[in-house]
Amino acid sequence: MAQLRIALAQANPTVGDLSGNTDKLLEWARQAADRGAHLVVFPEMFLTGYPVEDLVLRASFVNASIAALETAARRLADEGLGELPVVVGYVDRAGLQPRVGVPKGAPLNAAALLHRGRIVARTAKHHLPNYGVFDEYRYFVRGDRLPIFRLHGVDVAIAICEDLWQDGGPVAVVSQVGAGLLVVPNASPYERDKVDVRGDLCARRAREAGCALAYVNQVGGQDELVFDGDSLVVDARGELVARAGQFVEELLVVDLDLPAAPAGVRPGAATVDAGDGTAITVERVELSAEPVAPYPPEPPRIAPRLDDLGEVYAALVLGVRDYVTKNGFRSVILGLSGGIDSALVATIASDALGPDRVHVVLMPSRYSSEHSLADARELVRRQGVHARTIPITEIVNAVEKEIELHGLAAENVQARVRGAVLLMGLSNEHGHLVLTTGNKSELAVGYSTIYGDAAGGFAPIKDVFKTMVWDLSRWRNAQVGRESPFLYGFAEPPIPENSIVKEPSAELRPDQRDTDSLPPYHVLDRVLIDYVENDMGRDDLVAAGHDPELVTQVIRMVDAAEYKRRQYPPGPKITPKNFGRDRRLPITNRWRETAP
């Protein structure tokens, strides 16, 4: 056996910020060296950030990624870090002839091994995911190389993210040719899930490969995605050795006792059947043959796991924080109605940015109730956010003098004056990002005003059903006094109890209640989850015990609301389906689950 101290750099890159990501690589490599690591592994496509989407189809971007990798190798050596091997993801290109159906420029989702100022090995993802949020057949061509480098007498193989999830390919090849450690850079977004799919997968693949496995994941919000970190190491039997925190940057340093590589194997290349209809070329290089001198290992860290609501809340806070800061905003603005949705969004914003960077606007109309204004003011008092009040009555009157509108058309004017005119005006004037406050239940059934409450730059709770809005609000209030990177230190529960317990109303006409138009949310959400998340058809929904008339009503509303949802801003994704990329129904869609 041979000892090895490895460092997993669970870091937060920004898509496209090649120089910023390179700086971070240097800084974290230095920390790893300072902690005595023999190897540091960064996430998938760390130098470019992930997902880069159509940027990767620009030749100049791929060139810039390759140049950034060369710069990183050189800077590591120049700054005295050349002896520390670094595995890092970036974008490369395959030398393919252009042809129809192959992504322009044949980009590769690549990873490289840097050592002593040189790029010692390069590989690329073999299995390209093309489902859910992934579109990798659009962007990449398949890699067909598996580098195995000998480090202090241990053979270390490199695979990338999806290569773990599919049968055959790199893991199958490692199981054939043998290695002491498999390191896997990932960019694997958070999805709400009560079981530990990721940990189980790593355990299974470690047993299959017959070696320890180090899973290094990106952390941070990037557009709609939130990467949760949760990097981990399992041994060859699949037992958990170490695990990093969720939703936080962390350099996880782990001491491993690994099988020494057999002396007989020589550097060079050999092609192996990958067990999936393809062949993979194993490329061996040697960095150092001698094991390190024995040293006392550090006790392994296994970070405690967040509970279900804690995970969701952390994802929302990190999603907002990173969207705001990575887009160069300093502050946010939102309309505060006194209802629970805007109360929760204000609280998430305060937790993400601090209340001093949160601006709320109270915009009472002739239909606003006394308790609404009082509840909004009470939240302002508890959180200390910036607040102003702008009555909309005179503006709405001026509109009504020019055109005669009735019913919903008239109600929408109030929402549009608030969202498109006032909040966007203040955003343009002062540079705040507008946060919208719509939840997933109302978005799903179209209970929102396009260009009204739907106007804004980011939608923190667009993937949160209404019943969970209440759950999260109660959960957040119960956290007062606890320390966390996702909780601001409020002295009292930040959300007024009355906002949580009162009956929901849009207050766009006298005595309006959400239940005038919708089933009660605890009933609605159960149908939505089965229809939207679980893709159940009408017959399946009825067979699952939902009331047939309710099912018809809900399906009609959801299908009809498709166009509105397409106009909604992005927001953090916490379930497989959030109506964004994952539910790209055609807009002209005559097919209805409810048709006979």
Closest CA to 291 of 155, 116, 183, 154: 154
Of the pair 206, 420, the CB lying nearest a copy of itself is at 420
Length of the chain: 596
Do residues 532 and 577 touch, judged by C-beta distance below 8 A? Answer: yes
The residue within the footprint of a copy of itself, chosen from 3, 22, 218, 412 (CB under 8 A), is: 412
- Tell me the one-letter amino acid at 382: R
Check 24, 136, 161, 440 and give the catalytic one.
161
Residues 381-400 that bind a copy of itself (CB under 8 A): 390-392, 394-395, 397-399
Judged by CB under 8 A, which stretch of 108-116, 129-137, 303-311, 470-478 contacts a copy of itself?
Answer: 129-137
The yes or no reply on residue 200 touching a copy of itself (CB under 8 A) is no
Q: For 210, left (φ over 0), alpha (ψ -120 to 50), or beta? A: left
Residue 197 has a CB neighbour count (10 Å cut-off) of 11
Instruction: Say whether residue 59 binds a copy of itself (CB under 8 A).
Output: yes
Q: Which of 544, 556, 480, 483 is nearest to 517 (CA)?
A: 556
Residues 471-530 that bind a copy of itself (CB under 8 A): none
Q: Name the residue nearer to a copy of itself (CB basis): 165 or 367.
A: 165
CA distances to 168, 172, 174, 471, 566 from 280, in Å: 10, 10, 11, 49, 42
Q: In what order do the strands lie in the sheet with 145-151?
A: 240-243, 232-234, 212-217, 181-186, 154-158, 145-151, 279-286, 268-273
Closer CB to a copy of itself, residue 20 or residue 267?
20
The 10 Å Cβ neighbour count of residue 131 is 9
22 is in an annotated binding site: no
When the beta carbons of 269 and 405 are compared against a copy of itself, the nearer one is 405
Q: Of 392, 399, 460, 455, nearest to 423 (Cα)?
A: 455
564 is in an annotated binding site: yes
Tokens of 242: 């170490």
Residue span binding a copy of itself (CB under 8 A) among the ranges 159-167, 311-319, 470-478, 479-487: 159-167
What is the smallest separation between the CB atom of 30 and a copy of itself, expressed in angstroms?
23
Q: Is 60 in the site for a copy of itself (CB under 8 A)?
A: yes
**Is 119 among the annotated ligand-binding positions?**
no
Q: Is 587 annotated as a binding residue?
A: no
- Among residues 242, 244, 316, 413, the one that binds a copy of itself under rule CB under 8 A: 413
Give residues 131-150 in contact with a copy of itself (rule: CB under 8 A): 131, 135, 137-138
In the complex with a copy of itself, the residue whose CB is nearer, 134 or 475, is 134
Q: How many residues bind a copy of itself (CB under 8 A)?
A: 100
Q: Is 70 annotated in the active site? A: no
> 342 among the known binding-site residues?
yes
Of residues 456 and 504, the one with the C-beta less far from a copy of itself: 456
Whether 44 is catalytic: yes
418-477 residues in contact with a copy of itself (CB under 8 A) are 419-422, 424-426, 428-429, 450-452, 455, 457
Q: Give the N- to C-terminal CA distance of the chain in Å, as an integer.
A: 68
Kindly tell me which of 271 and 381 has the beta carbon lying closer to a copy of itself: 271
User: Residue from 99, 194, 266, 482 that binds a copy of itself (CB under 8 A)?
Assistant: 99
Where does residue 373 fall: left (phi above 0), alpha (psi -120 to 50 degrees), or beta otherwise? alpha
Site string for a copy of itself, 100-119 (x = CB under 8 A): xx-xx---------------
Q: Give the number of other Cβ atoms within 10 Å of residue 567's Cβ.
A: 11
Is 257 flagged in the annotation as binding? no
Q: Which of 129, 199, 238, 384 binds a copy of itself (CB under 8 A)?
A: 129
Q: What CA–CA distance (Å, rounded) separates 461 from 103? A: 34
Tokens of 279: 């062949």
* Annotated catalytic residue, options 44, 250, 311, 593: 44
d(CA 480, CA 489): 7
* Closest alpha carbon to 234 in 31, 8, 42: 8
Closest CA to 453 of 434, 473, 470, 467: 434
Q: Tell me whether residue 337 is annotated as binding.
A: yes
Residue 437 annotated as lining a ligand binding site = yes
Stretch that binds a copy of itself, among 12-20, 25-33, 286-294, 309-317 (CB under 8 A): 12-20
Q: Would the annotation count 336 as a binding residue?
A: yes
Question: Cα–Cα distance between 121 and 182 in angstroms, integer?
Answer: 15
d(CA 154, CA 165): 25
Catalytic residue IDs: 44, 125, 161
Indicate the annotated binding residues for L-glutamine.
131, 188, 194
Could you tell me which residues are annotated as the binding site?
Answer: 131, 188, 194, 335-342, 412, 437, 442, 564
